[in-house]
Structure 1
Amino acid sequence: MSIRMRFTIWRPLATAATAALMATALTPATAQAGPRTSEPVHSYDNAIRESVWVDTGLDGDGDGRSDRVAVDIVRPREPAQQGRKVPVIMDASPYYSCCGRGNDSQRKTYDANGDVVQMPLYYDNYFVPRGYAFVGVDLAGTNRSDGCVDVGGRSDIQSAKAVVDWLNGRAKGYTTRTGPTRAKATSWTNGRTGMIGKSYDGTIANGVAATGVKGLKTIVPIGAISSWYDYYFAKGAPLFGSGPDWLSNYVESPDARARCAAVQQRIVAGAPRTGDWTPLWSERNYVPDARKVRASVFVIHGMQDLNVRAKHFGQWWDALAKHGVERKIWLSQVGHVDPFDFRRAEWVDTLHRWFDHELLGYDNGIDDEPMADIERSPDHWVTSNVWPPRATQPTTLRPAEGTQDGVGTLGLTRGSGTETFTDDPGHNETDWAAHIDRPTPDKAGFVTGPLTRDLRLSGSSKVTVTATPSTSTAHLSAVLVDLGPDTIRDYATAGEGITTLTRRTCWGASTTGDSACFRETATKTADVDYTILSRGWADLGNHASDRKGVSLRPGTPYTITLDLAATDHVVPAGHRLALIVAGTDRGLIEPPSTRPTLTLDLSRTKARVPLVGGAEAFRKATSGTAPAPSPSVLDGVAGPRAAQRIPEAS
């Protein structure tokens, strides 16, 4: 069971001169308690803007020189003049020149001296006036950095880790990309660093934290990967039509692309489209190294994120909990969207207090607040003191053959008999859910009766099936569905739950070249008659091993367990809970080379579901008389968006 670790108490980090000033300005009681909020007292327009190249100690491009990564810095001038040191907020990214950051797709821009003018996003605008330095790192092989992109591997992670080391006086920095003049950070920073970023950027934060580097005090991964294999495959089933070589080619700078052919070839060779696990994937799996994490972790993830799917935060969170890492989480109904674009005011306030607590040591009470914020319905949030709640118990639900209407049932009692379906690569989870109340040849569906009370799922599920294929290859999908009318975020459209407006709001200070004003968004909803709440996939050829697939013998039964994404969802009274087992989930996994018919052995098929209250809660929710369903006219979510790689929704 996950244990909530309390954060460390307020740690006064100011100098003696600052402490004396505070003691003069504040009452004794207030001075003793210490500050609770950093204020925008420093000039952003007059901030120091500089660039440094940090030695990574690697030679990824094989040119005989140690790679240097470009580090653009914006920091307040006043603390430096007063001899005070400041903490650092850092976003290490491959996107600063190729693709842009945020909803406005901002890129770094520079003046004639090569110093940064526009730093993408609002972090510098907002936090530099409040006494933080902001550091934007170009990963190796991108923008102004040496080296090659290796998609979450050693070079990527070392790109950012070396900067944390430099901020703490353990690595070499230079004033130019090739020159000998050294640059030191210890004169202006105390080395306390927090990493933040969405998607690839947040993934790098996870990877750096997993090295256990000293000086990294907190990370804020948003929609981030925890294992790159799980980004491209699900137990052998390919989630995208290409591998990590496509991504490295996409984000590399033109000069890096010209000199990194050997690295690109190693990526291709190390990531075979068979879906077999290789050493390349082991290097890019951060979950086993959660035991090394020293930093606190504030996770943000969309439960309907079909790019960096929700399995990533679930397995990372569970590993952090196992090793007692201080942590906090926000779970939204959106897809691959930054909280700045779905809960802006609350997000900026929370992030501000988080960094104040973790980097400035302010005793502002954020460590006494609930561990989890969960979006229960569009723009309606609830909290959970511990996540998943302590009353959560993995509960085994079992499918059974259908009654006279031919629809299977889902309950606590072991079923018998079989169900048969044929893989239809033209259909997906929404097609299956829309026809749950009648047998169709493309799925096997199992449904509870209408619930008499709410039933909450909180955490990750597993579905074990025993299936007999008719061909030598087969892919499987398992989906949990809330059957009943609701209004949800429309994650299936281009905005993935938001609509971008033309008006702007401002978050921090602006300069002529770097505005703190960003386009507002509005919630985009859909009225539905079912909600997909969790999904998972597998290649049946991986039945004996998660790491290597084999050809199947037609007519032979195989047992495999599918990992379903983490979620937190309440199935309301009057709704039904459904389990669907089918083949290719169009748009979310690639089809197999054949079109198999699969027969499920229901006596050896089960779902292990995290229910708050466990089996007893399920028993109570499925007994008695359910309330009558509300009449509705619904349009529904038409289907998942076509599978996208990170840069297309970065």
Structure 2
Amino acid sequence: MKNHQFAFVPTKLTDIKSELHTIRFLDQENQSLAANELLHDLVNRALVNYRTAQSKEIALTDFMVDADTDAHEFFASQAPVSKQQFYNLAFQLLQFQTNEDFSLADPLTKWAEFNLPILLDAPDEFDSTTVLKAWYLLLNTHTKFGQTLLDALAADGYFAQFNDLATPLIFNGKTQPVFDTTALIREVVYVESDLDTDHDGKRDLLMAHVIRPAETESGLKVPTLFTASPYDQGTNDIAGEKLTHNVDQPIAHKDPNQLEYSDIEAVADQQALPAKRIGNGKTARHAEEHFQNGWGYTLNNYFLARGFAVVYAAGIGTKDSDGLRTTGDRAETLSTTAIIEWLDGKRNAFTNRNGEIKIKAWWSNHNIGMTGRSYLGTLQTAAATTGVAGLKTCISEAAISSWYDYYRENGLVVAPGGFQGEDADVLAEETFSREQRAGDYHRIKAKWEQQLADITRDQDRLTGNYNQFWDARNYLKDVGNIKADMVLVHGLNDWNVKPRNVENLYQALKDVPVETKLFLHQGQHIYINNFRSLDFTDMMNLWLTNKLLAVDNHANDLIPPVTIQDNVTPETWHSLDNWATDQTIKTLNLNDQSEIEHPYDHVTPAFFDQLTKEQLTEYTKHESSGQYDEWLNDLVNNPDSPIDQTRLIFKTKPLAHDITIDGKVGVHLTLASDHNVGLVSAMLIDYGEATRLNVSPSTIGLNAINAGFQWTQDSLREFTKQAHPSPFKMISIGHLNMQNRQNSYRVNELTPNQYYDLSFELQPTFYHLPAGRQLGLVIYATDLSMTVRGTMGVTYHLNTNQSSLTVPLFNKKA
């Protein structure tokens, strides 16, 4: 294993003593003890599951301080404490196993290899002060199972034994799990929005599930983590499947246009709103409705034990709320900000759907953060771009920044990986959970069917062009309004919400005066708060303690601007100042015999876009991780491929030295189609037999992570290496409609057999390519996993003399 901990706050000795007093590891009885006695006392206090002095001493006989001495004998001898003995004990307290994980003869070698925090200036013999410093650091060190020792002790009941701890309790700049999760209050409120999307003459009410600490009943004001999840009230999977579009059809020829952006710019709807509900003059302190445990994001659960409230709301058009689904437009944004405004004390909510008795978020300290992945992260971005008051930060994971970049690309209908045939209308139908209440759906059915028809029409699958519908769902236009500090998390192998979404937002935020942190991992569409190698949860604790509790803990400085997981070495993360910035650009000409291995004999090689019906059926039979693996292998790697004629492959000669691609690779082609339509796809490939990281993380500790005492659990995960070498890996991908060679809304004519200069960018990446590997570019047309796939028999010719690849290389000096 290799550990990366960024969330440790360097602390002065006076503060170390004060904080250890606060969490009851130091008091009047032990603060003057000699080193051996002090360490003995600290270890005994950490043996939470042993309730008597005798049982603790028996437990100490199972700890070894060196190859010959157990901890009981050692402490009884009152011998000096050596550095080696301390770290032998420390390893065992951190749940590492002797002989298997480390050697008692030399613990420090493995301590350094595992990258665990250590006192750099510690002497070989510890005095009492050194013991305190080392113990403080140890409490903040990750165990073998990926959480700090103090968190592990808390899960065993360390804090539960005390009745008078401060709430919240801050240790090393982070909140601690001292709140009683068995007494959490769960209640339902209905927030009134500034919307009437179902046109019933009443403002849409939005149901919200509130979970708050029982301590709020005594007057404690707490911050809130809000997760806006359209899936929270259930999904209509069968209806969505029926609505899924047929993609086995050819690309359509489009009539040329001379559109400017002003022609397709979205215009805000200025419809008059019904009057606000006035209620009956009564205000309740408690809700009428309650709910039991349901789905909960594990990061939210972690903070519930630390005194944060958590709110889940599904938004307009979901079960027990009013309105209609719209898939990402301003109405969904305002249904998200309405909840924030209620938490900030600026909007009404009611105790039931009749809208009679008002209820305030009287327990809120008016500091709100948002959490969640995918659609849940997307609505964070949407809300943040309004500049809504009260929203202090977003932890936005795998989020869409422009819905066009989710369902379209450069004038093409392009599916999110793994969801061929899905579109904005399908997603609207899947999340319209009002269907699940028979009476409610009966009253709204006709309006919903019209709404769905409007979305299907306006999304325009025929052309794939950017239009008013997509412009209304482009949050990048309003990034300048953001006032919340942003944490952006994304997978470099996420072909569902592709990396372009986070890169565009990250670059736009550079001009906005907010704090931004970026995390890029080697996963697909996943959460990373349960990884062993990175203290992501600790960093988010540091971050939210700063942003929502106003604790000056240096979170902005300690958390790196950019944290990127390495794709070659397991459990390795790089902290950088920037991503996709200040690179060195290398140009590879596709006919350059000094760089390209086995260039084509003809200057204008051809590829033919057609599969037989049998091939299409076979290739699309088995889908894995958003790809059709057999097709992908035949397309990019198989020398005897039955579809050899459908692609051109360019490989560099084996690399003489390592390179790291940093950002967006540019593809520049001079290409001709023998029809008046054309689409071109490009894949960037890492060629070379190698044992790479698996595409999905593995569970390495089932239910190993505890969010608090007798509270929820999560499994520890990590990216591991493949059991067997693989010959290639796709690095990035891109697509272009040849008629949209200027931009995504301007359509040009395509004359058969005429060459056109085309330039487009692949999805941004950060990819380490070791020496000896080959960088490959595969040029083809139909992408079975993403584009329409009529494979209509178009022949393309590429002029290799006028085609190239521009590769942004990581500039280590930048």
Structure 1 residue aligned with 2:359 = 183
Q: Name the aligned partner's letter for residue 94 of structure 1.
A: P
Query: Contact between 1:55 and 1:69, CA under 8 Å: does it hold in 2?
Result: yes
Query: Contact between 1:457 and 1:610, CA under 8 Å: does it hold in 2?
Result: yes
Structure 1 residue aligned with 2:488 = 299
Structure 2 residue aligned with 1:143 = 319
Give the C-alpha shift of residue 87 in structure 1: 1.2
1:573-626 CA deviation, whole Å, 9 max, x = no partner? 111222222111221222356321111223432323221239x99xxxxxxxxx
Query: Contact between 1:396 and 1:607, CA under 8 Å: does it hold in 2?
Result: yes
Give the C-alpha shift of residue 540 in structure 1: 1.2
Residue range with higher mean Cα deviation, 71-80 or 418-427: 418-427
3-state SS of 2:469 partner: helix
Distance change (3 Å), C-alpha of 1:394 and 1:189: farther
Distance change (3 Å), C-alpha of 1:180 and 1:168: same
Query: Contact between 2:518 and 2:563, CA under 8 Å: does it hold in 1?
Result: yes
1:98 and 2:234 are equivalent in the alignment: yes
Query: Contact between 2:686 and 2:729, CA under 8 Å: does it hold in 1?
Result: yes
Structure 2 residue aligned with 1:422 = 608
Q: How does 1:274-289 map to 2 (within 5 A)?
A: 274-289=463-478
1:71 and 2:220 are equivalent in the alignment: no
Residue range with higher mean Cα deviation, 249-258 or 466-475: 249-258
Give the C-alpha shift of residue 472 in structure 1: 2.0
1:168 and 2:344 are equivalent in the alignment: yes
Q: How does 1:102-113 map to 2 (within 5 A)?
A: 113=289
Give the C-alpha shift of residue 61 in structure 1: 0.9
Structure 1 residue aligned with 2:398 = 223
Could you tell me how far apart the structure 1 residues matched to 2:319 and 2:656 are? 57
1:444 and 2:664 are equivalent in the alignment: no
3-state SS of 1:246 partner: helix
1:46 and 2:183 are equivalent in the alignment: yes
**Structure 1: gaps spanning 5 or more residues:** 1-8, 10-20, 101-110, 410-414, 492-496, 618-650
Higher strand share: 1
Give the C-alpha shift of residue 431 in structure 1: 3.0
Give the C-alpha shift of residue 520 in structure 1: 5.0
3-state SS of 1:349 partner: helix
Distance change (3 Å), C-alpha of 1:267 and 1:525: farther
**Structure 2: gaps spanning 5 or more residues:** 1-8, 10-20, 29-135, 137-165, 237-286, 416-420, 620-630
Could you tell me how far apart the structure 2 residues matched to 1:115 and 1:406 are? 64
- 1:564 is aligned, of 762, 766, 771, to 762
Distance change (3 Å), C-alpha of 1:510 and 1:539: farther
Distance change (3 Å), C-alpha of 1:586 and 1:232: same
Identity of aligned residues (%): 28
Q: How does 1:310-325 map to 2 (within 5 A)?
A: 310-325=499-514
Query: Contact between 1:45 and 1:510, CA under 8 Å: does it hold in 2?
Result: no
- 1:396 is aligned, of 587, 600, 604, to 587
3-state SS of 1:206 partner: helix
Give the C-alpha shift of residue 549 in structure 1: 4.0
Could you tell me how far apart the structure 2 residues matched to 1:429 and 1:288 are? 36
Structure 1 residue aligned with 2:680 = 476
Q: Name the aligned partner's letter for residue 69 of structure 1.
A: L
Equivalent residue pairs, number: 573
3-state SS of 1:157 partner: helix
Give the C-alpha shift of residue 417 in structure 1: 3.4
3-state SS of 2:510 partner: helix
1:254-309 CA deviation, whole Å, 9 max, x = no partner? 14572422221221121011202221101111112221111121111111112111
Could you tell me how far apart the structure 2 residues matched to 1:80 and 1:561 are? 61
Higher helix share: 2
3-state SS of 1:400 partner: coil
CA RMSD of superposed structures (Å): 3.7
Structure 2 residue aligned with 1:621 = none
Could you tell me how far apart the structure 2 residues matched to 1:396 and 1:404 are? 10
Residue range with higher mean Cα deviation, 340-349 or 65-74: 340-349
Could you tell me how far apart the structure 2 residues matched to 1:612 and 1:499 are? 29
Query: Contact between 2:425 and 2:456, CA under 8 Å: does it hold in 1?
Result: yes
Structure 2 residue aligned with 1:108 = none
Structure 2 residue aligned with 1:545 = 743
3-state SS of 1:339 partner: coil
Q: How does 1:250-649 map to 2 (within 5 A)?
A: 250-253=430-433, 254=435, 255=440, 258=445, 259-273=447-461, 274-340=463-529, 342-343=531-532, 346-368=535-557, 369-377=559-567, 379-388=570-579, 391-400=582-591, 407-408=598-599, 417-424=603-610, 429-435=632-638, 440-491=644-695, 497-499=696-698, 503-509=702-708, 516-521=712-717, 523=719, 525-526=721-722, 527-549=725-747, 552-591=750-789, 594-613=792-811
Could you tell me how far apart the structure 2 residues matched to 1:353 and 1:406 are? 50
Distance change (3 Å), C-alpha of 1:176 and 1:394: farther
Give the C-alpha shift of residue 406 in structure 1: 8.0
Query: Contact between 1:474 and 1:592, CA under 8 Å: does it hold in 2?
Result: no
Residue range with higher mean Cα deviation, 253-262 or 165-174: 253-262
Could you tell me how far apart the structure 1 residues matched to 2:590 and 2:733 are? 17
Distance change (3 Å), C-alpha of 1:326 and 1:424: farther
Structure 1 or 2, whichever has the larger Rg, is: 2
Q: Name the aligned partner's letter for residue 771 of structure 2.
A: A
1:498-551 CA deviation, whole Å, 9 max, x = no partner? 35689323532488xxx6124555646533222211111111121233114456
Query: Contact between 1:201 and 1:224, CA under 8 Å: does it hold in 2?
Result: yes
Could you tell me how far apart the structure 1 residues matched to 2:413 and 2:424 are? 12
Distance change (3 Å), C-alpha of 1:406 and 1:519: closer
3-state SS of 2:665 partner: strand
Query: Contact between 2:412 and 2:465, CA under 8 Å: does it hold in 1?
Result: no
Give the C-alpha shift of residue 234 in structure 1: 1.1
Query: Contact between 2:669 and 2:803, CA under 8 Å: does it hold in 1?
Result: yes
3-state SS of 1:115 partner: coil
Structure 2 residue aligned with 1:238 = 413
3-state SS of 2:293 partner: strand
Structure 1 length-normalised TM: 0.80
Could you tell me how far apart the structure 1 residues matched to 2:217 and 2:536 are? 29
Could you tell me how far apart the structure 2 residues matched to 1:470 and 1:192 are? 60
Q: Name the aligned partner's letter for residue 387 of structure 1.
A: N
Structure 2 residue aligned with 1:88 = 224
Could you tell me how far apart the structure 2 residues matched to 1:40 and 1:180 are? 37
Give the C-alpha shift of residue 163 in structure 1: 1.0
Could you tell me how far apart the structure 1 residues matched to 2:294 and 2:633 are? 43
Give the C-alpha shift of residue 570 in structure 1: 1.0
3-state SS of 1:260 partner: helix
Distance change (3 Å), C-alpha of 1:398 and 1:229: same
Structure 2 residue aligned with 1:647 = none
Structure 1 residue aligned with 2:102 = none
3-state SS of 1:380 partner: coil
Q: Name the aligned partner's letter for residue 452 of structure 2.
A: Q
Give the C-alpha shift of residue 416 in structure 1: 10
1:422-474 CA deviation, whole Å, 9 max, x = no partner? 22455855433314899942222222222221111112222122211011222
- 1:118 is aligned, of 294, 305, 324, to 294
Query: Contact between 2:532 and 2:716, CA under 8 Å: does it hold in 1?
Result: no
Could you tell me how far apart the structure 2 residues matched to 1:406 and 1:130 are? 58
Distance change (3 Å), C-alpha of 1:390 and 1:312: closer
Distance change (3 Å), C-alpha of 1:323 and 1:41: same
3-state SS of 1:45 partner: helix
Residue range with higher mean Cα deviation, 356-365 or 529-538: 356-365
Structure 1 residue aligned with 2:6 = none
Give the C-alpha shift of residue 402 in structure 1: 6.2
Structure 2 length-normalised TM: 0.65
